[in-house]
Amino acid sequence: MKVYLNSIQISDAIAFMADDIKKDYENTPITIICILKGAFIFCADLIRHLEMSVQVEFLQVSSYQGTESTGVVTITNMPENLQGKHVLIVEDIVDTGICLKHVIDKLHEQQPASLKVAALVSKPSRRIEKVSVDYVGFEIPDKFIVGYGLDYNQQYRSLPYIGVLED
Ligand code: IMP
Ligand code: MG
């Protein structure tokens, strides 16, 4: 395992993102939607930097097996009653954008007052669906990363850093 982003780089990036978020919402209460499983650690760290009123909801999306997206997206535990709320999706990584596009489309049906996205990592070169990501921790090239919530076949989520698997 090669360290790609160490824990200090990660916590610095999260503090930056939190500052931007605080500035933009100016104390407007928000509803965070944490996308399981990958975003649970990022979300936990991010909300502790926010110092504002947040409600936290969780939903689960899956499409991956190994290092490839299966293309079939399933959403479970969709939160309800989001109409009129300021919703911020918290995602671990945006790759093809297919998962996020599904989540955004589904959430829009509930007519939130606003809908934004915070992602710890983005791989722009991999994008298939056009999705706008409002807050990004790191833009990276096409690499498969693990750790800090991210998995390879459910392994490595507990690493305190982000690493690249060597095969
Ligand atoms: P997308 O639909 O292709 O954008 O995939 C998004 C989801 O795939 C993310 O939320 C992750 O759960 C997973 N994923 C994408 N790239 C990686 C990676 O490099 N490591 C681990 N999981 C990844
Ligand atoms: Mg995910």
Per-residue pLDDT of the chain (167 residues; tens, 9 = 90+): 999 999 999 999 999 999 999 999 998 999 999 999 999 999 999 999 999 999 999 999 987 666 666 678 899 999 999 999 999 999 999 999 999 999 999 999 999 999 999 999 999 999 999 999 999 999 999 999 999 999 999 999 999 999 998 87
Active site residue 95: yes
Q: Please give the sequence-ordered ranges of beta strands (E in DSSP) within 30-134, or none if there are none.
A: 30-36, 54-65, 68-76, 86-94, 114-122
Mutate which of 99, 106, 167 for ligand 1 pocket (most atoms within 8 A of beta carbon): 99
Element (H, E) at 163: strand 162-164
pTM given for the model: 0.95
Q: Which two tokens stand for residue 99?
A: 């998962």
Distance 92 CA to ligand 2 centre (A): 5
Q: Which two tokens stand for residue 115?
A: 């809908």
Mutate which of 92, 98, 131 for ligand 1 pocket (most atoms within 8 A of beta carbon): 92
Atom 3, ligand 1: residue with shortest CA distance: 96
Residue 23 burial by CB count (10 A; 0-12/13-18/19+): exposed, middle or buried? exposed
